[in-house]
């Protein structure tokens, strides 16, 4: 018997994909859109996925999880997305928050939080983005100050997903003792390179207010601007140790990018499947429109681009799960880029294939356009990935 080729997923992973795809097919895109447009959540889908152990597939077994890796969690995320019912909170809650807690939490924090992540009953939002810092996380100003045993948080965040769904929020803050420094170019006082610390904050904490941002993305998950006004937190709100903040943050970034890539390739597969169905069915001359190469070739190109992005995502996950964070980081960035490009092109081509129906509510293609564009912007923009690859992979100088 020949060895399983290194580029193929294990039988267990393939079985996991099939099980998730079967479950997700009983919900589908109509369910997702109906929930999103009526202002409801996809809680029942989340609960079903959690009950089957799929949300906790990467949580260590000793806390009740599946003991798998980020590749397993990414497979779950991709299959839900491929079925037309993506769960955006998967990118933040089990992928970023549970991973960081599992790697850096105190024993007490692991005992407290991980069984809930394993069962899918704990949901946690993640907040790093700030309006004035944007892609430059070094400039975040949300500040944590010690006051006796307690911590006091002040500042604000923006575009934070799922604050209305998650009872808790993982907040990236700057430690107060990291003071401002004069900027070499003009001597202006600016925050120094970030010394972050991560805090677990209840979303109903006194002093924390959330304002929903009206978005054009059709999704049950909403985004919020947050204001922290003297939010007092107990000592154990600090995740792990205050000296490991930057490592903690990096530990969450690779899973986030791998998950975002999977979210995108799933959506791209969904759009392509719909386009192919339509192209096989719709006839306006004597053959189905899919017989015209102007329709067929772009769809074939998308299939190739999606498969390339999936391969790079699986490679990134395999590197991450093998304990190689540097190479995983490069691959995760490239996977995220490839997936973002693939989904934007696939959705655009799917809309075009549908003609006027590409913009009808009935066919649901138009609603995917903004969702697909998100993959070029968040959690890291395509330009910041290109900066990373230019500098890290190619050794080119930095311009900013």
Ligand X SMILES: Cc1cc2nc3c(=O)[nH]c(=O)nc-3n(C[C@H](O)[C@H](O)[C@H](O)COP(=O)(O)OP(=O)(O)OC[C@H]3O[C@@H](n4cnc5c(N)ncnc54)[C@H](O)[C@@H]3O)c2cc1C
Residues forming the site for ligand X (CB under 6 A) = 92, 126-129, 134-135, 159-161, 217, 223, 374, 377-381, 383-384, 387, 400
Closer of 42 and 387 to ligand X (Cβ): 387
DSSP class of 70? H
Closer of 99 and 314 to ligand X (Cβ): 99
Shortest separation between residue 305's beta carbon and ligand X, angstroms: 21
Shortest separation between residue 36's beta carbon and ligand X, angstroms: 13
Shortest separation between residue 67's beta carbon and ligand X, angstroms: 27
Residues in the chain: 400
Closer of 128 and 249 to ligand X (Cβ): 128
Closer of 88 and 295 to ligand X (Cβ): 88
Contact indicator for 229, 152 with CB cutoff of 8 Å: no
Shortest separation between residue 231's beta carbon and ligand X, angstroms: 17
Q: Which of 198, 319, 315, 177 has its CA nearest to residue 247?
A: 198
Give the CB-nearest residue to ligand X.
134
Closer of 121 and 381 to ligand X (Cβ): 381
What CA–CA distances, in Å, run from 263 to 27, 95, 192, 274?
17, 12, 34, 17
Shortest separation between residue 135's beta carbon and ligand X, angstroms: 3
Q: What is the rounded distance in angstroms from the CA atom of residue 97 to the CA atom of residue 126? A: 7
Peptide bond into 379 cis (omega under 30): yes
Torsion sign, CA atoms 252, 256, 257, 262: positive
Shortest separation between residue 264's beta carbon and ligand X, angstroms: 13
390: helix, coil or strand? helix
Closer of 339 and 374 to ligand X (Cβ): 374
359: helix, coil or strand? helix
Closer of 125 and 272 to ligand X (Cβ): 125
Shortest separation between residue 400's beta carbon and ligand X, angstroms: 4
- Per-residue burial over 225-255, b if 16 or more Cβ lie within 10 Å, else e, is bbbbeebebeeebbbbebebbeebbebbbbb
Q: What is the rounded distance in angstroms from the CA atom of residue 319 to the CA atom of residue 81? A: 23
Q: What is the rounded distance in angstroms from the CA atom of residue 283 to the CA atom of residue 41? A: 38
Contact indicator for 211, 157 with CB cutoff of 8 Å: no
CA angle 228, 232, 234 (to 5 degrees): 135
Closer of 20 and 128 to ligand X (Cβ): 128
Shortest separation between residue 153's beta carbon and ligand X, angstroms: 15
């Amino acid at each position: 018997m020949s060895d399983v080729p290194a580029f193929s997923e294990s039988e267990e992973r393939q079985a996991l994909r099939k099980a998730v795809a079967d479950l997700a097919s009983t919900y589908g895109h109509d369910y997702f859109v109906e929930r999103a447009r009526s202002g409801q959540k996809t809680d029942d889908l989340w609960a079903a996925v959690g009950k089957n152990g799929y949300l906790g597939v990467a949580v260590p077994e000793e806390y009740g999880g599946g003991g798998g890796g980020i590749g397993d969690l990414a497979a779950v995320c991709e299959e839900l997305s491929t079925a037309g019912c993506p769960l955006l909170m998967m990118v933040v809650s089990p992928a970023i928050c549970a991973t960081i807690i599992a790697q850096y939490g105190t024993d007490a924090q692991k005992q407290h939080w991980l069984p809930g992540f394993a069962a899918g009953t704990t949901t946690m939002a993640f907040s790093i983005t700030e309006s004035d810092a944007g892609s430059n996380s070094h400039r975040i100003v949300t500040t944590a100050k010690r006051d006796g045993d307690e911590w006091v948080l002040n500042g604000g965040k923006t575009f934070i997903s799922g604050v209305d769904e998650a009872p808790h929020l993982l907040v990236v803050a700057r430690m107060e003792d990291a003071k401002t420094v004069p900027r070499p170019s003009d001597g202006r006082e600016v925050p120094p390179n970030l010394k972050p610390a991560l805090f677990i904050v209840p979303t109903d904490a006194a002093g924390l207010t959330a304002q929903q941002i009206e978005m054009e993305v059709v999704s049950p998950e909403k985004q919020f601007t947050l204001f922290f006004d003297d939010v007092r937190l107990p000592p154990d709100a600090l995740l792990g140790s205050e000296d490991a903040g930057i490592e903690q943050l990096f530990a969450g970034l690779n899973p986030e990018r791998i998950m975002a890539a999977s979210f995108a390739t799933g959506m791209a597969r969904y759009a392509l499947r719909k386009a192919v169905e339509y192209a096989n069915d719709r006839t306006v001359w004597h053959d189905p429109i899919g017989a015209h190469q102007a329709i067929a070739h772009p769809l074939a190109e998308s299939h190739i681009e999606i498969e390339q992005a999936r391969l790079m995502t699986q490679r990134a996950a395999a590197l991450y799960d093998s304990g190689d964070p540097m190479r995983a980081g490069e691959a995760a960035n490239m996977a995220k880029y490839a997936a973002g490009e693939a989904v934007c092109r696939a959705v655009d081509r799917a809309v075009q294939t549908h003609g006027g129906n590409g913009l009808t509510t009935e066919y649901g293609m138009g609603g995917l356009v903004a969702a697909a564009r998100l993959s070029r912007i968040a959690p890291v923009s395509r330009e910041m990935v290109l900066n990373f690859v230019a500098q890290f992979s190619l050794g080119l100088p930095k311009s900013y």
